[in-house]
């Protein structure tokens, strides 16, 4: 039977399903479902043949039922004394509650003993023995009940508690000779001690719940009520589980406090970051001018930048996180007058430069500095002489782009942080063409200590 090419949606048992009364209904359908119709028709055809297949297929491994025969003594053993009342029969109490019924049936052992006992002359009827054994069992059970030693399950051997004196007193009404009673009592007691449990099945306690011997059956069920899930089965309503739940609550409260603090911390971090960013922006704005100042004044007392500044190590700065770059830009930031550092030395140097800058402001950056002009930190300007000496020719402006409308692009030369020579025609920060015609951009001058 071929499968449909698509997987049917799972069937919703609450959804009303149309009943298609005839296979023809499928054919009347306007949609081209010929293949499916064919399939259904084939199913119908198979159903027809199946009728003949099923019996041969399913009955073949079917087993002939084991035999039974009619018991020839049946008619004699079971009397025709039952008449059904017109009303439905009602159950009476259990036999144990009725009392006079002798529940015990002699077994082979008892019969053999009785035969032996009666061997010389018939002293005791089997019915009498049956009745006596039954009564001894019941009396012993009552004695154990009074002593409070009834075990709910069969753990250890169950001893005989009934004393012969007590037994004969209780059984006086049966009018048996003492000798006979004595024999029966001894036989019963010996049997009981061999069995280690009551011989009347009703009085035998069930096997313990955890007994795994498959011969011991009818265990009491641990719990009548079984919970659905394992979690529910584990949970109990007691002090222990209360403590457990309280601990869980404490833990959750603590977790909540920690998380709230964490949120606060992260917010603070974001604030710091934002300040940092605006700081950097401002710093970049001021950078150019500061360089000019430094250049023209060539402060003799100004501490040189550390050597590693501009060394190959700095290549990594790009990919590092903010904190890292902040560390490295600090020397530059120190030049910023807005940056309030607690270190007194720096303040003095910053204050000094502020004075210097103040003088240049009118001609410097305020008018001419394009705020979009990139300030590339950590780069150095090219030395045209050295370039010439090395035979490096700066690229000429692109001839193609040098159209009428397009402004001429000029390539800026600089030395990258790793020492590469870079000619920009594209602002790497702003992603705009660099129009150097109007630009006042001047790459910072090399520090003598790092460049030479």
Partner 1 sequence: MGSIEAPASAENGSIPATCAINGDQRYAPASDGVPPRPSYPAGMTPETDALRKRRSSILPLEVGTRVLCRWRDGKYHPVKVIERRKMHAGGPNDYEYYVHYTEFNRRLDEWVKLEQLDLDSVEAVVDEKVEDKVTSLKMTRHQKRKIDETHVEGHEELDAASLREHEEFTKVKNIATIELGRYEIETWYFSPFPPEYNDSLKLYFCEFCLNFMKRKEQLQRHMRKCDLKHPPGDEIYRSGTLSMFEVDGKKNKVYGQNLCYLAKLFLDHKTLYYDVDLFLFYVLCECDDRGCHMVGYFSKEKHSEESYNLACILTLPPYQRKGYGKFLIAFSYELSKKEGKVGTPERPLSDLGLLSYRGYWTRVLLDILKKHKGNISIKELSDMTAIKAEDILATLQSLELIQYRKGQHVICADPKVLDRHLKAAGRGGLEVDVSKLIWTPYKEQG
Footprint on residues 11-70 left by partner 1 (CB under 8 A): 11-23, 26, 31, 33, 36, 40, 43-44, 47-48, 50-51, 54-55, 58, 60-61, 63-70
Q: Which is nearer to partner 1, 108 or 237 (CB)?
A: 108
What are 397-402's contacts with CB under 8 Å, separation 24+?
397/425, 398/425
Site string for partner 1, 222-261 (x = CB under 8 A): --x-x-x---------------------------------
**Locate tokens 């029969």: which residue?**
89
Q: Which of 104, 105, 113 lies closest to 186 in space, CA to CA?
A: 113
**Of the candidate residues 35, 38, 94, 235, the single one contacting partner 1 (CB under 8 A):** 94
Q: Which is nearer to partner 1, 22 or 319 (CB)?
A: 22
DSSP-derived 3-state class of residue 415: strand
CB atoms within 10 A of CB 346: 18
Q: Which is nearer to partner 1, 55 or 418 (CB)?
A: 55
**Looking only at residues 113 through 142 of this chain, which bind partner 1 when binding is defined by CB under 8 A?**
126-127, 130
Asked whether 379 and 408 are in contact (CB, 8 A), the reply is no
Q: Which is nearer to partner 1, 105 or 190 (CB)?
A: 105
**Of the candidate residues 105, 190, 253, 295, the single one contacting partner 1 (CB under 8 A):** 105
Q: Which is nearer to partner 1, 216 or 241 (CB)?
A: 216
Asked whether 331 and 309 are in contact (CB, 8 A), the reply is yes
**Of the candidate residues 74, 229, 234, 404, the single one contacting partner 1 (CB under 8 A):** 74
Q: In whole angstroms, give the CA distance from residue 252 to residue 250.
A: 5
Q: How many residues bind partner 1 (CB under 8 A)?
A: 85
Token reading at 61: 């491994």
In whole angstroms, the minimum distance from the beta carbon of 52 to partner 1 comes to 10
Q: Would you put residue 56 in left (φ > 0), alpha (ψ -120 to 50) or beta?
A: alpha
**Of the candidate residues 121, 172, 210, 217, the single one contacting partner 1 (CB under 8 A):** 217
The torsion angles phi and psi of 421, rounded to 5 degrees, stand at -90, 130
Q: Which of 433, 411, 432 lies closest to 422 in space, CA to CA?
A: 411
Position 340 contacts partner 1 (CB under 8 A): no
Q: Which is nearer to partner 1, 2 or 405 (CB)?
A: 2
**Looking only at residues 400 through 419 of this chain, which bind partner 1 when binding is defined by CB under 8 A?**
none
* DSSP assignment string, 383-405: -HHHHHHHT--PPPPPTTT--SS
**Of the candidate residues 28, 32, 56, 91, the single one contacting partner 1 (CB under 8 A):** 91
In whole angstroms, the minimum distance from the beta carbon of 257 to partner 1 comes to 42
In whole angstroms, the minimum distance from the beta carbon of 219 to partner 1 comes to 6
Q: In whole angstroms, give the CA distance from residue 181 to residue 166.
A: 12
Strands 412-415 and 421-424: antiparallel
Position 3 contacts partner 1 (CB under 8 A): no
In whole angstroms, the minimum distance from the beta carbon of 55 to partner 1 comes to 8
Task: Indicate the length of the chain as a whole number.
Answer: 452
**Looking only at residues 161 through 200 of this chain, which bind partner 1 when binding is defined by CB under 8 A?**
195
């Amino acid at each position: 039977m071929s499968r449909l090419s698509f997987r049917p949606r799972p069937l919703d048992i609450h959804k009303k399903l149309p009943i298609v009364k005839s296979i023809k209904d499928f054919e009347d359908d306007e949609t081209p479902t010929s293949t499916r119709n064919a399939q259904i028709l084939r199913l119908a055809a198979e159903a027809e043949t199946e009728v003949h297949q099923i019996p041969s297929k399913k009955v073949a491994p079917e087993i002939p039922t084991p035999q039974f025969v009619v018991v020839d003594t049946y008619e004699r053993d079971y009397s025709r004394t039952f008449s059904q009342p017109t009303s439905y029969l009602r159950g009476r109490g259990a036999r144990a509650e009725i009392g006079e019924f002798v529940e015990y049936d002699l077994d082979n052992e008892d019969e053999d003993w009785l035969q032996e006992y009666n061997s010389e002359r018939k002293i005791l009827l089997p019915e009498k023995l049956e009745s006596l054994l039954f009564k001894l069992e019941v009396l012993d059970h009552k004695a154990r009940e009074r002593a409070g030693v009834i075990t709910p399950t069969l753990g250890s051997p169950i001893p005989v508690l009934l004393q012969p004196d007590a037994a004969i007193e209780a059984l006086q009404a049966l009018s048996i000779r003492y000798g006979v009673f004595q024999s029966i009592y001894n036989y019963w007691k010996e049997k009981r001690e061999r069995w280690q449990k009551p011989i009347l099945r009703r009085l035998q306690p069930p096997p313990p719940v955890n007994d795994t011997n498959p011969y011991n059956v009818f265990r009491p069920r641990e719990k009548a009520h079984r919970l659905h899930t394992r979690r529910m089965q584990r949970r109990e309503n007691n002090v222990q589980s209360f403590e457990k739940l309280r601990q869980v609550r404490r833990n959750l409260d603590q977790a909540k406090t920690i998380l709230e603090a964490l949120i606060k911390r992260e917010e603070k971090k974001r604030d710091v970051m934002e300040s940092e960013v605006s700081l950097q922006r401002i710093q970049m704005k001021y950078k150019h001018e500061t360089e000019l100042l430094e250049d023209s004044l060539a402060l003799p007392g100004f501490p040189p930048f550390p050597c590693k500044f501009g060394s190959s190590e700095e290549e990594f700065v790009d990919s590092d996180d903010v904190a890292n770059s902040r560390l490295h830009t600090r020397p530059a930031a120190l030049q910023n007058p807005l940056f309030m550092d607690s270190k007194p030395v720096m303040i003095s140097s910053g204050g000094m430069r502020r004075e210097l800058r103040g003088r240049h402001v009118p001609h410097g950056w305020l008018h001419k500095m394009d705020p979009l002009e990139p300030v590339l930190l950590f780069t150095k300007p090219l030395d045209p002489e050295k370039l010439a000496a090395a035979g490096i020719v700066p690229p000429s402006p692109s001839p193609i782009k040098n159209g009428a409308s397009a402004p001429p692009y000029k390539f800026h030369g600089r030395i990258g942080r790793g020492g590469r020579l870079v000619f920009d025609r594209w602002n790497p920060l702003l992603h705009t063409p660099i129009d150097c015609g109007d630009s006042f951009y001047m790459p910072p001058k090399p520090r003598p200590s790092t460049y030479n």
